[in-house]
Amino acid sequence: MGRYFIKCAFVFSPKTFPPPPSPTSRPVGRSRVWKRLTFQHWRNARTAENESMSNHEMTSDNRYAVDLERGIVMSEMRRESMTSRSTPRQVTNPLEKAGQICFVCLDRPRDGQYAIQVPCLLAKQSRAVDHWTQEMIPVPDGFVLTGNLSPVYAPLEDWEKFSEDDRAVYIRMVEACFQDLGRWKRWLPYYGVVSLAEVDFQFDGRIGENGRLPGLIIPLDIDEIEKDCKEAIEGQPRPDDLNGYDHCDPAGTYHAQDCETAMKHSDHDCLTKEADEARERLRRLELRYLLTRLARKPADANGLDTLSGMAQGSPIYPLFGKGKVETPVMNELWTGNTAVRALHFVFGFQMDRIKMEVPFLVSVGVLGIGVIWLAVLVSKGAGVDWGMALALAQVVAASISIVITSLRH
């Protein structure tokens, strides 16, 4: 090996190799990454050379061999650096890996009723278990399986690696509506979400070129939902006065006699469980106003769990796995007849805000103008010229604006 390096040293002169870069200099046409890597390699090589020289004095042939090896490595690093710079950087858009979707409904006099699809990135509640393993303990004759089972989870899919909070979902839904209605409407004063309600949406026809899904918006019958919830609560089995064991176990181990009869002769679930779900549904029905409020102010959405559904189930459907939703495909006729849960956005001028804020703003504006002109008249009456009076009015106007801005914040 030593003879090989000696022979190569005579063929390739060490003068052709680039000098070691300085950490303070900035070579022209050379990336900072390459400079940092080459200088680090040169420093490591120099350290190794000094250590070897401390053991024995290097000959000229050995020094040529070390310089030759250093030059070959530096050339390879330069080639790798140029290759990495020419390769485009791959940027992954999380929305392309969305695992859920939400249907947002709009109703316009010119275009009719339609829905748009909004991707969502919600965290998966639980990971899928691929298989189970048992712990093995070595013994003199081999291995013994213990009774301890350990789950081995399946690898995460691309759409399971991203997650976001409810605030981001509300912001994306409102942004999708403005993109469809016209971005210029965002800058109109007091224009925005007037109401937001849960509905059912029935697809009808073909998907449009602009991504719209034509169909029919079906409002929910809140009175009917409340009636069903009250009936479920009234149908809950009561403990028998003579037999205290005739009730449903919270863990679902055993059920009351009436509950078992209902489960056997109908498609009912546990009556006690249905009653508990009905109570929770009635509680959420009273909080339906939160949908409109959070659509106007998405920053308050986290922690309220409104996207799980208020009057019905969650409007967010999975695109993969169990319970995935079938969506129309471009240039294909939709043959499904099942309505999906959706959110109906109504946009317009927010009259409630106008009635509450405009009278106050108008009164403050009139009062400010009156104070400014009063300052002008008082200054003029004191013998001050018009220029000085108007300058004093500007000072008063600036003071009023500062006070109003401070009160608003």
- Both 33 and 69 in a single domain? yes
Q: DSSP states of 372-393 as a string?
A: HHHHHHHHHHTT--HHHHHHHH
276 lies in a domain? no
Q: Which helix (DSSP H) or strand (DSSP E) does residue 347 occupy?
A: strand 340-349
Give the model's pLDDT for residue 14: 44
Residue count of the chain, please give it. 409
Measured CA to CA in angstroms, residue 351 lies from 105, 107, 290, 362, 366 at distances of 22, 19, 18, 16, 22
Alpha-carbon gap, residue 120 to 170, rounded angstroms: 10
CB 368 within 8 A of CB 400: yes
375 lies in a domain? yes
State how many domains the chain has. 4
- Both 111 and 203 in a single domain? yes
102 lies in a domain? yes
Give the model's pLDDT for residue 100: 84
- Both 178 and 326 in a single domain? yes
- Hey, is 149 helix, strand or coil? strand
243 lies in a domain? no
- Both 55 and 195 in a single domain? no
- Both 339 and 364 in a single domain? no
Name, in order, each residue with C-beta under 8 angstroms of 52's C-beta and a sequence gap of 6 or more.
Answer: 58
CB 257 within 8 A of CB 246: yes
Q: Can you give the residue range of the structural domain that contains 141?
A: 124-162
- Both 404 and 357 in a single domain? yes
403 lies in a domain? yes
- Both 339 and 357 in a single domain? no
Alpha-carbon gap, residue 344 to 193, rounded angstroms: 10
- Both 158 and 56 in a single domain? no
293 lies in a domain? no
Give the model's pLDDT for residue 200: 94
Please state the φ and ψ torsions of residue 238, each to the nearest 5 degrees: -100, 145
56 lies in a domain? yes
Q: What is the dihedral of CA 152, 99, 169, 305, to 10 degrees?
A: -50
Q: What is the dihedral of CA 233, 237, 238, 242, to 10 degrees?
A: 170
Last residue of a domain, one of 349, 375, 396: 349
Tell me the pairing of strands 129-139 and 213-219. unpaired
Give the model's pLDDT for residue 360: 72
CB 287 within 8 A of CB 280: no
Give 155's DSSP letter: P
- Hey, is 103 helix, strand or coil? strand
What string of pLDDT tens digits covers the 409 residues of the chain? 444 444 444 444 444 444 555 544 444 444 444 444 455 555 666 666 555 555 445 555 555 555 555 555 555 555 555 544 444 444 345 455 677 889 999 999 888 899 998 988 765 545 555 556 656 666 566 555 555 666 666 555 555 556 678 898 999 999 999 999 998 998 998 899 999 999 999 888 777 777 788 889 999 999 999 999 998 888 776 655 435 555 665 655 566 666 666 665 566 677 777 888 889 999 999 999 999 999 999 999 988 889 989 999 899 888 776 667 777 666 666 656 678 899 999 999 998 888 888 777 677 777 777 877 787 777 777 777 777 777 877 887 787 777 777 766 5
Task: Report the DSSP beta bridge partners of residue 108.
Answer: 112
Last residue of a domain, one of 132, 162, 192: 162
- Both 322 and 215 in a single domain? yes
Task: Report the DSSP beta bridge partners of residue 218.
Answer: 200
- Both 138 and 154 in a single domain? yes
- Both 19 and 63 in a single domain? yes
Tell me the pairing of strands 129-139 and 340-349. unpaired
- Both 158 and 168 in a single domain? no
396 lies in a domain? yes
CB 121 within 8 A of CB 95: yes
